[in-house]
């Protein structure tokens, strides 16, 4: 499970630091500013009164806050000493009373000790590195623990020194394995730690206060956050600017910059090489520019480095999620993610069920969008999801398609209004979603049209990154038995947040929860498909269930709704045909092997600090990746790659050729291709059973 550390996401504050054997030199302490105590009281009051959970802040919450705040500062239990933690226990049952009184002393005192430990160790490490790299024995058999969540804080200075000796040795070894010389490694690490020290010294009272307050909001749920005035401005700016670079939303995670999500159809997404939770450790300009180490950088500084003129290249050095720490370099061609790139698109393909061919229309929908400004101006040509999809449906009618697939993979949501209105196009009447509010009142969103625009065979394609509004639409289609839902269990983001103004900053607070017409919440559980596809994203680490404090799944009363077709009669046969078809399909064999391989690497608890062992592991990983790809290529009649370098070079060439509008291509998308065959089977089986839905001609 992922620890819910999102306080730092908005300010770009990165938790970094090292312990030291030297005498602690007291740096200038960061003190609370006037007004922060009052803001803390406001936050406590609004959380208790307005949050969906209705949790009162008492002694139990104080203990949880104490744990959460220390975990936010020291998630790897590497920075504080055990004696520090014992000293902090004096505040364990006092934080609730302090916050009610407008006293934030505990948060600042704990942070100042953390800052003290960090600064001293950074000085110590820099003094070593400036004399040259430590003379580590890379032939020695020893390991570094990768996940210290269950470990204890060092109980002595010598224990802390040993931990950080291994961490520094691992950093040097990682860089050696990328081909860097000792001089280059020394220069890079000196710049890295000097940068960390500079950013440590730049931390201000607002940063500490925000970190402390967000440790409190996370106890309510992972989507409630406090944003200081400066942080709110920086967050809005960085999120909008990030779309002009590589189409990725980034967040701070300890000393790293992590990929939170990819914008569907954006430059990063189209490489196919970056996944949510990948860590960015270096940024290089163009194809040959110097790779700048960004470990320990502020989030906004990393975003600035990644951004650039459309058409130029940027290289990202990443640590893939679930791996063993091996670095990977990805070439991305920058471009601006335009509204038209996010708009619904269509394509038509032919698929056969073995006895008859069918024309299947595919509508790709990256997000639920609406041009609010044009809508408010009453512009008759305003752009929206529903209007665009309605136009595409009309065009598909003219093309006489036999069925339609609505592709919502990687669609993170958007406008609730558009999700509701889109359902209008496919069902005749009835409720679409229920919303239970913090006051326990339930409201229902109904469709408004008298008749559906499209009444033919329908499939909704989802994956783990289909969230929020996507889940509302897919859930409604499934509950009404209006069409098949195919893919992977969706994200499970079934809560609604509103912004509550404060005297200083704003509080984003969860106040409502989505429920399907069946009464089931989409929260936590998401939407489960009728037919599963191979999992490409680890649901353990991505999705609502990966957050420790996510609101639970529950259900309320169902509301009366129609059942369109007897899909349960057809689904078992469709699954049998799907399994038989994909059992030996080269692309599906590759996808299953890839997921299995990633899961094996993610299970590693320790990494070797022996250079020969690590080099052999790297070669083994590369060889296995090459073997998987070549098995796929041979089975498809393609020429295999001679070596891993040729494989990497081919992928880089594909990235370099990316440009222009996003196209729907079956040859690059085995999941969509198989969905087409499932749709053909669906239509054929329904015809044979004399249960076929009305055809597209009956729009």
479 and 556 share a domain?
yes
Q: Is the pLDDT of residue 633 over 90?
A: yes
553 and 580 share a domain?
yes
538 and 639 share a domain?
no
Instruction: Give me the pLDDT at residue 448, please.
Output: 58
Q: Is the pLDDT of residue 9 over 60?
A: no
Instruction: Give me the pLDDT at residue 417, please.
Output: 86
Q: Is the pLDDT of residue 693 over 50?
A: no
Return the higher-pLDDT residue of 396 and 603: 396
- Banded pLDDT at 124 (limits 50, 70, 90): confident
- Show which of 197, 224, 251 is a domain's final residue: 224
Contacts of 465 (CB under 8 A, 6+ apart): 261, 262, 276, 409, 410, 411, 412, 491, 537, 542
575 and 677 share a domain?
yes
Instruction: Give me the pLDDT at residue 413, please.
Output: 86
- The answer to whether 462 and 488 have CB atoms below 8 angstroms apart is yes
Instruction: Provide the number of structural domains found in the chain.
Output: 4
pLDDT over 70, % of the chain = 89
Return the higher-pLDDT residue of 301 and 98: 98
**CA proximity to 370, closest of 343, 350, 333:** 343
Give the C-alpha separation, 294 to 314, whole Å: 14
555 and 620 share a domain?
no
Q: Is residue 265 part of a domain?
A: yes
559-587 average pLDDT score: 93
Q: Is residue 600 part of a domain?
A: no
Q: Is residue 684 part of a domain?
A: yes
| Alpha-carbon distances, residue 273 vs 197, 270, 329, 422, 642 (angstroms) | 32, 8, 9, 32, 21
Return the higher-pLDDT residue of 302 and 375: 302
- Banded pLDDT at 57 (limits 50, 70, 90): very high
355 and 258 share a domain?
no
Instruction: Give me the pLDDT at residue 13, please.
Output: 30
Q: Is the pLDDT of residue 504 over 50?
A: yes
The per-residue pLDDT for range 155-178, each reduced to its tens digit, is 998 999 899 999 999 999 999 988
What SS3 class is residue 307? coil
483-489 average pLDDT score: 97
pLDDT over 90, % of the chain = 54
The per-residue pLDDT for range 367-414, each reduced to its tens digit, is 888 877 777 888 888 888 999 999 999 999 999 999 999 999 989 888
Contacts of 18 (CB under 8 A, 6+ apart): 79, 117, 118, 121, 122, 124, 125, 164
The gap between the terminal CA atoms of the chain, to the nearest Å, is 47
Residue 367, domain CATH: 3.90.226.10
559 and 471 share a domain?
yes
Helix (H), strand (E), coil (C) string for 617-675:
HHHHHHHHHHHHHHHHHHHCCCCCCCCHHHHHHHHHHHHHCCCCCCCCCCCCCHHHHHH
Instruction: Give me the pLDDT at residue 408, please.
Output: 96
- Banded pLDDT at 138 (limits 50, 70, 90): very high
Q: Is residue 591 part of a domain?
A: no
Q: Is residue 594 part of a domain?
A: no
434 and 392 share a domain?
yes
Judging by beta carbons within 10 Å of its beta carbon (0-12, 13-18, 19+), is residue 588 exposed, middle or buried? buried
Instruction: Give me the pLDDT at residue 254, please.
Output: 66
- Banded pLDDT at 21 (limits 50, 70, 90): very low
Q: Is the pLDDT of residue 15 over 60?
A: no
369 and 241 share a domain?
no
- Show which of 333, 359, 390 is a domain's final residue: 333
- Show which of 292, 309, 333 is a domain's final residue: 333
Contacts of 601 (CB under 8 A, 6+ apart): 322, 323, 324, 621
Q: Is the pLDDT of residue 89 over 80?
A: yes
Q: Is the pLDDT of residue 445 over 50?
A: yes
Q: How far is CA 633 from the centre of its chain?
A: 30
**CA proximity to 386, closest of 453, 466, 325, 286:** 453
Instruction: Give me the pLDDT at residue 512, please.
Output: 94
98 and 119 share a domain?
yes
Contacts of 84 (CB under 8 A, 6+ apart): 113, 117, 153
Q: Is the pLDDT of residue 275 over 70?
A: yes
Instruction: Give me the pLDDT at residue 182, please.
Output: 93
Instruction: Give me the pLDDT at residue 467, please.
Output: 93
Instruction: Give me the pLDDT at residue 103, please.
Output: 96
The DSSP secondary-structure symbol of 15 reads -
Helix, strand, coil in percent for the chain, rounding step 5: 40, 15, 40
Q: Is residue 301 part of a domain?
A: yes
- Partners of 470 in the β-ladder: none
Q: Is the pLDDT of residue 661 over 70?
A: no
Q: Is the pLDDT of residue 4 over 50?
A: no
Helix (H), strand (E), coil (C) string for 189-231:
HHHHHHHHHHHHHHCCHHHHHHHHHHHHHCCCCCCCEEECHHH
- Residue 311: CB atoms within 10 Å: 10
Contacts of 137 (CB under 8 A, 6+ apart): none
- Partners of 2 in the β-ladder: 547
- Residue 637: CB atoms within 10 Å: 7
Q: Is residue 532 part of a domain?
A: yes
Q: Which residues are identified as catalytic?
A: 468, 479, 493
- Partners of 404 in the β-ladder: 361, 458
As a whole number, the mean pLDDT across the chain is 86
Return the higher-pLDDT residue of 481 and 293: 481
Return the higher-pLDDT residue of 654 and 368: 368
Instruction: Give me the pLDDT at residue 654, please.
Output: 59
- Banded pLDDT at 449 (limits 50, 70, 90): low
Domain interval for residue 113:
7-224
Give the C-alpha separation, 470 to 366, whole Å: 10
Q: How far is CA 517 from the centre of its chain?
A: 28
- The answer to whether 456 and 693 have CB atoms below 8 angstroms apart is yes
Name the most confidently modeled range: 92-96, 174-178, 329-333.
Answer: 92-96
| Alpha-carbon distances, residue 612 vs 139, 180, 472 (angstroms) | 7, 16, 52
Q: Is the pLDDT of residue 143 over 90?
A: yes
- Partners of 436 in the β-ladder: 442, 513
487 and 610 share a domain?
no
**CA proximity to 577, closest of 352, 348, 403, 350:** 352
Return the higher-pLDDT residue of 208 and 229: 208
Instruction: Give me the pLDDT at residue 148, please.
Output: 87
Return the higher-pLDDT residue of 406 and 339: 406
The DSSP secondary-structure symbol of 91 reads G
| Alpha-carbon distances, residue 555 vs 413, 420, 519 (angstroms) | 21, 20, 5
Helix (H), strand (E), coil (C) string for 536-575:
CCCCCCCCHHHECCCCCCCECCCCCCCCCCCHHHCHHHHH
Q: Is residue 40 part of a domain?
A: yes
Report CA Rg, the chain.
Answer: 27
416-425 average pLDDT score: 90
Q: Is the pLDDT of residue 90 over 50?
A: yes
Residue 294, domain CATH: 2.30.42.10
* CA dihedral sign, ordered 282, 286, 288, 289: negative
Give the C-alpha separation, 349 to 242, whole Å: 34
- The answer to whether 400 and 379 have CB atoms below 8 angstroms apart is no
Q: Of 263-272, 309-318, 340-349, which gets the smallest average pLDDT?
A: 263-272
The answer for 344, left when phi > 0, alpha when psi is -120 to 50, beta otherwise, is beta
635 and 685 share a domain?
no
- Banded pLDDT at 52 (limits 50, 70, 90): very high
Helix or strand holding residue 696 (H, E):
none
Q: Is the pLDDT of residue 19 over 60?
A: no
Alpha-carbon dihedral of residues 585, 590, 593, 598, nearest 10 degrees?
A: -150
> For residue 404, which phi and psi values (nearest 5 degrees)?
-130, 135
Q: Of 2-11, 366-375, 440-449, 668-677, which gets the smallest average pLDDT?
A: 2-11
- The answer to whether 337 and 243 have CB atoms below 8 angstroms apart is yes
């Amino acid at each position: 499970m992922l620890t819910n550390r999102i306080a730092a996401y908005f300010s770009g504050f990165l938790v970094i630091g090292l312990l030291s054997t030297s005498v602690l030199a007291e740096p200038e302490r960061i003190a609370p500013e006037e007004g922060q105590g009052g803001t803390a009281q406001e936050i406590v009051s609004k959380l208790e009164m307005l949050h969906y959970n209705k949790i009162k802040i008492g002694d139990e919450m104080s203990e949880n806050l104490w744990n959460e705040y220390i975990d936010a500062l020291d998630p790897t239990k590497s920075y504080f000493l055990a004696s520090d933690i014992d000293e902090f226990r004096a505040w364990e049952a006092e934080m609730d009373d302090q916050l009610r009184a407008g006293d934030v002393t505990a948060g600042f005192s704990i942070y100042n000790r953390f800052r003290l430990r960090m600064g001293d160790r950074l000085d110590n490490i820099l003094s070593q590195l400036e004399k040259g790299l430590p003379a580590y024995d890379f032939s020695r058999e020893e390991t570094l623990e990768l996940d210290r969540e269950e470990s204890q804080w060092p109980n002595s200075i010598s224990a802390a020194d040993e931990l950080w000796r291994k961490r520094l040795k691992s950093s040097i070894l990682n860089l050696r394995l990328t081909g860097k010389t000792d001089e280059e490694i020394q220069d890079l690490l000196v710049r890295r730690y000097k940068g960390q020290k500079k950013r440590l010294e730049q931390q201000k009272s607002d940063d500490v206060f925000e970190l402390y307050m967000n440790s409190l909001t996370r106890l309510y749920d992972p989507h409630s956050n406090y944003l200081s005035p400066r942080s709110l401005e920086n967050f809005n700016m960085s999120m909008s600017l990030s779309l002009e670079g590589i189409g990725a939303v980034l967040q701070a995670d300890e000393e790293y910059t992590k990929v939170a999500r990819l914008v569907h159809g954006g430059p990063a997404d189209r490489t196919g090489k970056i996944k949510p939770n990948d860590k960015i450790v270096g940024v290089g300009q163009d194809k040959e520019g110097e790779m700048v180490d960004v470990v320990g950088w502020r989030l906004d500084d990393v975003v600035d480095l990644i951004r650039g003129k459309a058409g130029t290249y940027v290289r990202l050095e990443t640590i893939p999620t679930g791996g063993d720490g091996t670095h990977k370099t990805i070439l991305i061609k920058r471009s601006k993610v335009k509204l038209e790139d996010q708009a619904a698109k269509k394509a038509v393909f032919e698929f056969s069920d073995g006895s008859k061919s069918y024309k299947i229309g595919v509508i790709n929908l990256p997000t639920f969008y609406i041009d609010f400004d044009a809508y408010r101006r009453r512009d008759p040509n305003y752009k929206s999801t529903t209007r665009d999809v309605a136009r595409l449906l009309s065009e598909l009618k003219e093309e006489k398609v036999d069925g339609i697939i609505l592709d919502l993979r990687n669609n993170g949501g958007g406008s609730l209004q558009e999700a509701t209105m889109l359902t209008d196009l496919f069902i005749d009447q009835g409720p679409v979603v229920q919303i239970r509010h913090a006051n326990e009142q339930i409201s229902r969103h109904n469709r408004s049209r008298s008749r559906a625009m499209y009444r033919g065979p329908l499939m909704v394609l989802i994956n783990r990154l289909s969230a929020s509004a996507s889940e509302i639409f897919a859930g409604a289609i499934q509950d009404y038995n209006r069409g098949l839902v195919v893919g992977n269990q969706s994200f499970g983001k079934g809560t609604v947040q509103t912004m509550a103004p404060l005297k200083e900053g704003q509080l984003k607070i969860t106040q409502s929860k989505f429920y399907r017409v069946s009464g089931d919440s989409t929260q936590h559980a998401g939407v489960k498909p009728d037919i599963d596809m191979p999992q490409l994203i680890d649901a353990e680490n991505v999705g609502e269930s990966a957050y420790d404090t996510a609101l639970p799944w529950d259900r309320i009363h169902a509301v009366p709704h129609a059942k369109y077709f007897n899909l349960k009669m057809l689904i078992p046969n469709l699954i049998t045909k799907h399994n038989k078809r994909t059992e030996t399909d080269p692309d599906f064999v590759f996808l299953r092997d890839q997921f299995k391989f990633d899961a094996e690497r993610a299970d590693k608890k320790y990494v070797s600090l022996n250079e020969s062992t690590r080099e052999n592991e790297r070669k083994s990983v590369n060889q296995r990746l090459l073997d998987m790809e070549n098995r796929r290529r041979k089975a498809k009649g393609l020429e295999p790659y001679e070596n891993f370098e040729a494989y990497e070079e081919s992928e880089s060439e594909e990235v370099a050729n990316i440009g222009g509008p996003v196209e729907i291509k079956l040859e690059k998308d085995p999941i969509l291709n198989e969905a087409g065959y499932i749709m053909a089977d669906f239509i054929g089986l329904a015809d044979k059973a004399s249960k076929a839905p009305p055809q597209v001609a009956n729009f």
